[in-house]
Amino acid sequence: MSAEPKSGLPAHIAIVMDGNGRWAEKRSRPRTMGHQAGLKALRRVVEHCGRKGISELTVFAFSSENWKRPETEVSRLMELFMRTLNKEAAELHKNNIRIRFIGDLNRFQDNLRNRIDRVLALNPSDYRMTLNVAANYGGRWDITHAARLIARDVHEGKIQPDEINETLFSAKLATAGGSEPDLLIRTGGEMRISNFLLWQAAYSELYFSSVLWPDFDGEEIDRAIEAYSRRERRYGAISKTQKEKAS
């Protein structure tokens, strides 16, 4: 079971890791060099979040739209993904970090899916943090897939249509069993969430950083957390100040 985060921290941080390609292009290097640098940034961020007591971290590793990129880049990304699994998984498990994969993994080749299965089988039962890796993931796919699962259950008579509610729907999403992100960060200067956790991020605090992902580090995470700590999360209700004025 994951530990509770320290007071004042977001329990769950989600990150759109954007800017690898632009980071490489600024240095006149191939885009794959940016992805390699991005993996180093991910390692730094995971370690920093672990030290701070963040209990859940979700990263957008490969979107369902990324298949539209040049075939050579996609192939290189898959190679990096496989190598990273081989190299980093044991270290994460050693540090009591549980790994989960969310997304449609069926499109990946058998060797990668088999490696993912082996990584999952080694997950520690006593973990202090969960790292969710969104691979071949898209928010619209997630919602559509959940709706399809519910429709099948209705067709098979397992549930009635009037039993469908937000709790049931959430349980059919790829993130079922986890928490909704408190803080969603996007790096690289773009101000959109790009089809990431559309349902789950309904009430997440958004933080956009101009820093390209390979340059992102613990200090940048701390800046995002500091901005988060200054916000009042109301979930559709009025603020404390507004309540005092109304009373």
Q: Does the annotation mark 18 as catalytic?
A: yes
Q: 131 is in which domain, residue-wise?
A: 12-139+179-246
Residue 222 annotated to the active site: no
pTM (2 d.p.)? 0.89
CATH of the domain at 43: 3.40.1180.10
In 3-state terms, what secondary structure has residue 227?
helix
- Catalytic one of 20, 66, 86, 132: 66
Provide the domain count of the chain. 1
In a domain, 234, yes or no: yes
Residue 2 falls within a domain, yes or no? no
Mean pLDDT value across the chain: 90
pLDDT at 233: 78
Residue 4 lies in a domain: no
- What's the pLDDT tens digit per position in 133-161? 999 999 999 999 999 999 999 999 999 99
Whether 129 is in a domain gets the answer yes
